[in-house]
Amino acid sequence: MAQQALGQVQWGPLTFGPGTPYMVTAVEGLDDLPDIRSEDIERPGQHGDYSGPDYTGPRVVQMKLGLRGETPDDLRALSLALRAATQPQRQPAPLQFLDQGALVYAKVRKRSIPYDAEYLWRIGDAAIEFYCPDPYVYGLLEKTERTTAYSPAVGRTYPRVYAGTSSVVLNANPSFETTIAPWTGADGAVIERTNTQAQAGAWSARITPNGLGLYPRMDSELMTVTPGASYRARGWLRCATARDVALNVNWYDAGQNYLSTDSDTRAVAATTWVEFSAAYTAPAGATYAQLAPTVPDTPPATDVMWVDDVRLEVDQLTGTRSYGSAGSSGRITATNEGASAAFPVLRIDGPVANPAVEQVTTGGSLIIDATLQAGEYLVIDTRSRAVLLMGSSPRRSWVRGGSSWPVLQPGDNEIAFRGSALPGDPGQTSLLTVSWRDTSL
């Protein structure tokens, strides 16, 4: 639910707002319209102008803080920490308004931490000016939709899903972009949210063993499942040392009694993110499932593990095939809950020839004159218009002349994905992933 109270604000390693020593006393520029850069020209020999389109300049967000220390030395430490976090930057960084579900990409352009001896016993003030070259205000959560392609050459193919169920992520906040409160697990491990490491978005969860507890882990909420149905556990895990780590799925009955555990255990190199993905069938009697990223055995306190983009989802690759209504394959609905057009990032996974992404709602399509083999993928940023093979090699020349770059207008947007199956491929197994954030000015 939207709220007027600002709540907590995250900038780099510092959090401002309730429950912190940095109280936010004023914010200007977040909800304001940036200065308009108009393209009006005078009407020669007449009154008035010819009015062209209006564009906005950069956004400037000004924030005033109240510093509240316990002692003069504590106040000085708060001032130094604020100074360290507001240094000049090469690139904009996320300024996140956690309780309002919004973020902007900003640089620090001005900082004021005045010295007032009359009040410097344990309280002080500060002011920061953030410059946002990109004026848009984005939703805190990144949204994602996926679909396989529709290929007229081989007939329609449909993703395998379960009757009455769409392929969805069952757990909430898988990438920890929404605030979680730190807690201590039953094994003594400390679980907390951090932005020092991230694989998806800006945040991850960190599990710090106490060196005494067995199998330090982070247990998710219970998620409703169906006995005999197939599910896929996904996630990115990272450990400070080279060792085995595991992504477990615990199964529970209707009374929340433990039934069994399925485990995906792998050896990981030190400080390296590793993607986990394994499919399981919910056992007989299972009503709930729980994700449990785990450091096996009794690790020392130095074996810190990070968890990101960990999710349990209905498995699209196995299970009972449900065809649904005719004409639904190869289409998704992307909802932009902002008030301005959003620029999505598209990922196309092969195998597919001449893939095309069509913005059905507004018309126009982006066509790629190329072939992607199995295991190859293309990342397309519709804002910068970068086209990158395997996420790094530029392939802008693959875009067919006359193509249009799809954007997501406020509200529901229907996106269609089409392509040709490769010779010898009996069906269309390519995948389109569309990622975006709600966008407003």
Cβ atoms of 359 and 418 closer than 8 Å: no
According to DSSP, the residues that pair with 146 across neighbouring strands are 433
Q: What is the distance of C-alpha 214 from the center of its chain?
A: 32
For the full predicted model, state whether its pTM sits above 0.85.
no
Chain segment 203-228, per-residue pLDDT in tens: 899 999 888 888 888 888 888 888 88
pLDDT attached to residue 118: 67
Checking if the pLDDT of 346 tops 70, the result is: yes
Checking if the pLDDT of 164 tops 60, the result is: no
Report how far residue 160's alpha carbon sits from residue 141's, in angstroms, rounded to the nearest whole number. Answer: 27
* pLDDT bracket for residue 142 (50, 70, 90): confident
Chain segment 268-313, per-residue pLDDT in tens: 888 889 888 888 888 998 989 999 999 888 888 888 999 998 988 8
More confident residue, 322 or 335: 335
Checking if the pLDDT of 159 tops 60, the result is: no
Cβ atoms of 352 and 432 closer than 8 Å: no
pLDDT attached to residue 231: 87
Chain segment 12-43, per-residue pLDDT in tens: 888 999 989 999 999 999 999 999 999 999 99
- Burial of 135 by CB count in 10 Å (0-12 exposed, 13-18 middle, 19+ buried)? buried
pLDDT attached to residue 329: 64
Q: Which domains does the chain have, with CATH numbers?
A: 9-135 (2.40.30.200), 143-158+326-440 (2.60.120.860), 183-314 (2.60.120.260)
Checking if the pLDDT of 414 tops 90, the result is: yes
Report how far residue 408's alpha carbon sits from residue 342's, in angstroms, rounded to the nearest whole number. Answer: 5
